[in-house]
Amino acid sequence: MTTLRCTADLLRRVHPTSAPESPAGRLGDWHARIIFGKPRFVVLCTNDRSLLCVTIPLAPVRELVSRFVLAATQRIRQIPAREDLLRAEIAALTPAHVGRSSNRSVISTMNQFMYSAETWLERQPLGDLEELGFWLCDTPCTTISTEWPWLQAELILTGSVAPGRRPLKAPAHVR
C-alpha cells in the first residue's frame, strides 16, 4: 500500500483516507499537487524517494486515485529493473490512500517541476500528459544522489546503476 500525499489545495478536493505509517514499496509514497493550467488543471505526482513524476488530469476528481495508480504503474514499468522487482513495486501501489503532504524537500522540488510544467503546458495546452511526466523525469535534481529521477529509481529498486547509464529517453509512443 502507498499514500498519495496531497498539498492543501488538492486535499480540499480529494478526501483523505486513513494512511498507513509506512509505505509497502521501496520507492515509498508519492506526493501530489495541482498545476492550474489552461484550459485544464493537471495533477503532478512525484515519488518521495526517486522524484519520478507522472502527470494526470484533475477532473474527474473522484477517479483521481485510480488514474494515479495507472499512471504510476506505467512509469514504474519503464524503470530498467528485474521483472520481479517491478511487479512487487506495482503491487505496493494498491490500495492507495490519500493523506497530507509533509516532506518539504519533495514539495520544494515539485515547485520547481511545476514551473517547468506550466511552461510546457503554455506551449502545448492539450499536449500528452505522459510526455510531460516523462520530460520531468529527465530533469536533473541535485536533491537526490544520482541527480536524475530515472537513475535514482533504478538505484532504489536494484541497489545499483549500470556504469555510464544516462537517463532514459521517452518511448517511441511518447516522443
High-pLDDT (> 70) share of the chain, %? 91
Q: Work out the average pLDDT over 10-18.
A: 89
Question: Are 1 and 20 in contact, with CB atoms under 8 Å apart?
Answer: yes
pLDDT value of residue 168: 60
Is the pLDDT at 22 greater than 90, yes or no? no
The grid coordinates of residue 3 equal: 499514500
Residues 35-71 pLDDT 10s? 998 888 999 999 999 999 999 999 999 999 999 999 9
Domain coordinates in residue numbering, the chain:
2-158
Contact 30, 5 (CB under 8 A): yes
Residue 7's pLDDT band, with cuts at 50, 70 and 90, is very high
Flag the least confident range among 18-32, 42-56, 67-81, 156-170. Answer: 156-170
Structure confidence at residue 78 (pLDDT): 93
Mention the CATH class of domain 2-158: alpha beta
Specify the pLDDT at position 49: 94
**Structure confidence by residue, pLDDT tens digits, 76-96:** 999 999 999 999 999 999 999
Which residues does residue 36 pair with via DSSP β-bridges, in sequence order?
41
Is pTM beyond 0.85? Reply is yes
Residue 128 to residue 131: CA distance in whole angstroms: 5
Could you tell me which of 32, 45, 50, 44 has the C-alpha nearest to residue 167? 50
Tell me how far apart the alpha carbons of residues 95 and 45 are, in angstroms, rounded to a whole number: 16
User: Is 60 exceeded by the pLDDT of residue 172?
Assistant: no
Give me 62's grid cell: 473522484
User: Does residue 173 register a pLDDT over 90?
Assistant: no
pLDDT band at 175 (very low <50, low <70, confident <90, very high): very low
115: pLDDT confidence band, cut at 50, 70 and 90?
very high
In this predicted structure, the answer to whether residue 33 has a pLDDT above a threshold of 80 is yes
